[in-house]
Copies of this chain bind each other. A is one copy, B any other.
Amino acid sequence: MPTFELGPNQYGKAETRLVRVERGAGGDRITDLNVSVALRGDLAASHLTGDNAAVLPTDTQKNTVYAFAREFGIDDIETFAARLAEHFVSSQPSVHEARVAVEQYPWQDVDGRHTFRRDGGEVRTATVHHGHYGTRTVSGVTGLVLLKTTDSEFHGYVRDRYTTLPETRDRILATSVDATWRTAAGPADGAKARAALVEAFADTYSYALQQTLFAMGSRVLEACPDVLEVKLSLPNRHHFLVDLAPFGLDNPNEVYFAADRPYGLIEGVVRRPGVAIPEEVAWTF
């Protein structure tokens, strides 16, 4: 029997759902999180022989998430994730690297006291890597759905044998923003970054979703001096003008079909000149 080798590997507890309530005279505050932990280290024995002497159970990781919420509170998701990642590495000799990814679901205060309404769709994110290189933090937002009814054109593109798309001087542009940003150290001002994304989407006259992407990334870099780079993934949620001519009707950019699939997908990084991406942050496995 041939002998094979263990390559890159990791394990952890995914999607621990945690809600924390801070109770206060001036009204409660809730933090609603989904926490996923992944650890790397001395895991060969577990793979090769089922010897778990170096394995911190994923159940323990889940317990740690809950316990830390009580012991240290949750100031912001970046700090909470970093504390967890550093804990796993520093407390376990067998763990050399940790990645903690957090999704935060926003809630709106309803009565200034203790009632909240889930602000659906949009999610705040943070992913922290901790290892010999220190602590690397990437923050972001996902599920931020934006649409503009005009100020978007698309023409002048390459044509080949398979091109049938007519050029357009006025179309709906819609996307669901998935953005992440990275600083040299410490979390950026997430509210400011998010506002920059929305503003740039709104006020950029667009000749391509790529152009809008670059404008959005640039605006975050302008608004947040500590942000080094911004990565954007923008599906082009196509809205097709319906042909009403068969029914004797015109359609002056009024009635659209919102398509599900397929969709364009535009992805890119915008960064300050000279910024290099640390390899660890690309630890997407």
Main secondary structure of the interface of A (DSSP, over half): mixed
Distance from A78 Cβ to chain B, minimum over Cβ atoms (Å): 19
**In this assembly, does A192 line the interface, its C-beta being within 8 Å of a C-beta of chain B?**
no
Central interface residue in A16, A158, A211, by most chain B CB within 10 Å: A158
Minimum C-beta distance from A168 to chain B (A): 11
Contacts of A58 in B (CB 8 A): 236, 262, 264-265
Question: Shortest beta-carbon distance, A267 to chain B, in Å?
Answer: 5
Given known pairs A114-B148, A147-B107, the reply for A261 and B264 (CB within 8 Å) is no
- B147 A56 Cβ-Cβ under 8 A: no
A281 contacts the other chain (Cβ, under 8 Å)?
no
Q: How far is the CB of A227 from chain B (nearest CB, A)?
A: 10
Number of copies: 4
Complex interface: chain B residues within 8 A of A222 (CB): 1-2
| B-chain residues with CB within 8 Å of residue A208 when the two chains form the complex | 46-47, 50, 52, 55
Option from B9, B121, B253 in Cβ contact (under 8 Å) with A267: B9
* Known A17-B261, A52-B156: A118·B94 in contact at CB below 8 Å: no
Q: How far is the CA of A6 from the CA of B229 in the complex (A)?
A: 10
Chain B residues, Cβ within 8 Å of A218: 4
Kindly supply a per-residue 1/0 record for chain A positions 256-278, scoring 1 wherever the CB is within 8 Å of any chain B CB and 0 otherwise: 11111111111111111111010
CB 8 Å contact bits of A1-36 with B (1 = contact, 0 = none): 111111111111111111111110000101010001
A21/B172 contact (C-beta < 8 A), A9-B267, A147-B30, A249-B71 known: yes
The residues in A between 41 and 85 inclusive whose CB is less than 8 angstroms from any CB of B are 43, 46-60, 62-64, 66-67, 69-71
Q: Which residues of A contact B (CB under 8 A)?
A: 1-23, 28, 30, 32, 36, 38, 43, 46-60, 62-64, 66-67, 69-71, 91-92, 94, 107, 110-111, 113-122, 143-151, 154-165, 172, 198, 201-203, 206-208, 210-211, 213-214, 217-218, 221-222, 229, 231, 235-236, 239, 242, 244, 246-251, 253-275, 277, 284-285
